[in-house]
Structure 1
Amino acid sequence: MLSKNKIGFIGGGNMAEALLKGMLSSAGPLDVAVSDLNTNRLEMFRTQYGVEAITKDSKKVVEYADVIIFAVKPQVIPEILDEIKDLVADKLIVSIAAGVLTASIESHLNEGARVVRVMPNTPALVGMGASGICKGSNATPEDIELVQTMMETIGVCVVVGEDRMDAITGLSGSGPAYVYTFIDALADAGVNMGLTRVNATTLAAQTVMGAAKMVLETGIHPCQLKDNVTTPAGTTICALHELDRGAFRSTVMNAVESATKKAAKLGKLNK
């Protein structure tokens, strides 16, 4: 499916690179164009990924591609959309810009424009992303299927209504920061108990990754996996008691709720 489309990236940052890398690994050689104001980034796409169609001009990417991926900062999107609005008929617009609503994108384009919005997260940079996808008013089921195929090259993705995209931002978009904080705390605890920093960090990170893999690959509910580790009067139940004493679960839930509400506020500013 990917090889049947010419792909254009407006913006050549880390997320664009991760997505292109994933697509090339999955689908093989593709027809790709990239625009960016940074000539060093453009040269990197040419030398590392074989992209010959590199330019500073976004219009040239739009003219070239069937699928245009916006991988730029939210504040510059309206200006670019106004420049290309007459060039995107029958093309699919995919935005990975945080907080920019599909309706906002459509308002800068001609009637009937097909738009899909994606909320990725930074682990996409290592092929372990978790992304949310929602459709604009004119996007087709085939458009959604294509974007799913693209995002699955860098991790997993779910399709939701746009009214749930703020929750995805609060959970998986900001979520890596929560996990990094947890890993750092685990490592600090290991150091406090006598482990070296290197060993403690390695064990903490691998423990988190292994536990996550158990959830994804076994399909067993996290609570059941937790109970499988917890023996009567053992070490784990003592530790879990301390987490409950510190309102660990409630704090995590409150953090996601707070991030979700903040995402909603930012979305209103980007209308």
Structure 2
Amino acid sequence: MNERTGSPVVAFIGGGNMASSLVGGMVARGGDPSRIRVADRNAPNRERLCASFGVQCFATPEEAVDGADFWVLAVKPQGMRLVCNDLAPLAQQVRPVAVSVAAGITSRQVADWLGGAVPVVRAMPNTPSLLGAGMTGLYANEHVEEHQRAQAGELLAAVGEVEWIADEALMDAVTGVSGSGPAYLFLMAEAMADAGAAQGLPRDVAARLANQTILGAARMLVESGEDAATLRRRVTSPGGTTQAGLEAFEEGGLRALVERAVGAATRRGAELSAANED
């Protein structure tokens, strides 16, 4: 963090969807566009970001990180090592906070690729961040100072809620629950719409019923202050239609299936990490 100004200079390496949503969220919350930089080798991406948010855009990471307090590494996991290795000499000179949003890449890997002993915050956001409704799990390594941790949390809070995770080994489970979670709900919406159409509803009507129902239920979960089990019991009348539907889910092993899905995504995150080891 820049102690003289109280406002960090943030450089994004990569200008894709996640970087765009974070930049947009920061600007919408009053962030100074002149203190936000983006590096992307794709000229149309740079032009779009500059036009949309008024931030500084560069063709190379080296230009973007010059003088930056935070480096947000928003590149694909398979490209992370190369990007970090290229920036390692500068990282060792200035000791920025590196914020990685790459799935399956550990903070140790990022720190090592940047030359070692670098403050790293590992972040696992999800796609609703594009709408400012994201959920991000965060882990800070031992080199991150308290004020840097606060700034990193504030940065990610620009696109939704954040949750700090004390044990990095649990970040793969964060990926399994919330990182991959939106796709589970999209699949549920598809299945509900298909089922409604099978009962005779027009497909577009069934889809609208399913989508709005999921949105409304999600808002109740977040805004009511009640947990999921309480809300479920409250809308389930004994012997009624909802109970009949829920019994079908339970008989079909829904809970076990969800546990398998989250477990599979969690294991895949660990595999991605292992695949990037030396």
Q: TM-score, normalised by structure 2?
A: 0.93
Residue 232 of structure 1 and its aligned partner are, at CA, apart by: 1.6
Quote the residue 1:39 is aligned against: 43
Q: Is the 8 A contact 1:121 1:173 kept in 2?
A: yes
Q: Please list, as runs of the form range in 1=range in 2, the aligned pairs for 1:197-212 lying within 5 A after superposition.
A: 197-212=203-218
**For residues 234 and 7 of structure 2, what CA distance do their matches in structure 1 show?**
47
Could you give the per-residue CA deviations for residues 231-256 of structure 1, whole angstroms, max 9, x where no partner exists?
12110111111111111111111110
**For residues 241 and 188 of structure 1, what CA distance do their matches in structure 2 show?**
19
- The residue type equivalent to 1:253 in the other structure is E
Runs of 5+ unmatched residues, structure 2? none
Residue 25 of structure 1 and its aligned partner are, at CA, apart by: 0.8
**For residues 160 and 57 of structure 2, what CA distance do their matches in structure 1 show?**
26
Residue 167 of structure 1 and its aligned partner are, at CA, apart by: 0.1
2:174 counterpart of 1:168: yes
Q: Please list, as runs of the form range in 1=range in 2, the aligned pairs for 1:18-33 lying within 5 A after superposition.
A: 18-30=21-33, 31-33=35-37
Question: Which of the residues 102, 105, 108 maps onto 2:110?
Answer: 105
Q: Please list, as runs of the form range in 1=range in 2, the aligned pairs for 1:42-53 lying within 5 A after superposition.
A: 42-51=46-55, 53=56
Could you give the per-residue CA deviations for residues 18-51 of structure 1, whole angstroms, max 9, x where no partner exists?
0111111112433111111100000001111112
- Secondary structure of the 2:237 match is coil
Runs of 5+ unmatched residues, structure 1? none
Could you give the per-residue CA deviations for residues 115-139 of structure 1, whole angstroms, max 9, x where no partner exists?
1110111111111111110012311
Q: Is the 8 A contact 1:33 1:64 kept in 2?
A: no
Q: Say if 1:33 and 1:174 are closer, same or farther in 2 by CA, change over 3 A.
A: same
Q: Please list, as runs of the form range in 1=range in 2, the aligned pairs for 1:91-130 lying within 5 A after superposition.
A: 91-130=96-135
Could you give the per-residue CA deviations for residues 36-78 of structure 1, whole angstroms, max 9, x where no partner exists?
1100000001111112x21111111111321110101112222
- Tell me the C-alpha RMSD between the 2 structures: 1.6
- Secondary structure of the 1:94 match is strand
2:63 counterpart of 1:57: no
Question: Which of the residues 212, 220, 224 maps onto 1:214?
Answer: 220
When structure 1 is superposed on structure 2, of 235-244 and 26-35 the one drifting more is 26-35
Could you give the per-residue CA deviations for residues 174-196 of structure 1, whole angstroms, max 9, x where no partner exists?
11111111001111111122222
Q: Is the 8 A contact 2:12 2:73 kept in 1?
A: yes
Q: Is the 8 A contact 2:104 2:271 kept in 1?
A: no
Q: Is the 8 A contact 2:189 2:214 kept in 1?
A: yes
**For residues 111 and 264 of structure 1, what CA distance do their matches in structure 2 show?**
21
2:16 counterpart of 1:13: yes
Quote the residue 2:229 is aligned against: 223
Residue 111 of structure 1 and its aligned partner are, at CA, apart by: 4.2
Percent of aligned positions with the same letter in both sequences? 36
- The residue type equivalent to 1:235 in the other structure is T
Q: TM-score, normalised by structure 1?
A: 0.95
When structure 1 is superposed on structure 2, of 17-26 and 102-111 the one drifting more is 102-111
2:183 counterpart of 1:177: yes
Quote the residue 1:256 is aligned against: 262
- Secondary structure of the 2:37 match is strand
Q: Is the 8 A contact 1:101 1:270 kept in 2?
A: no
Give the aligned length: 270
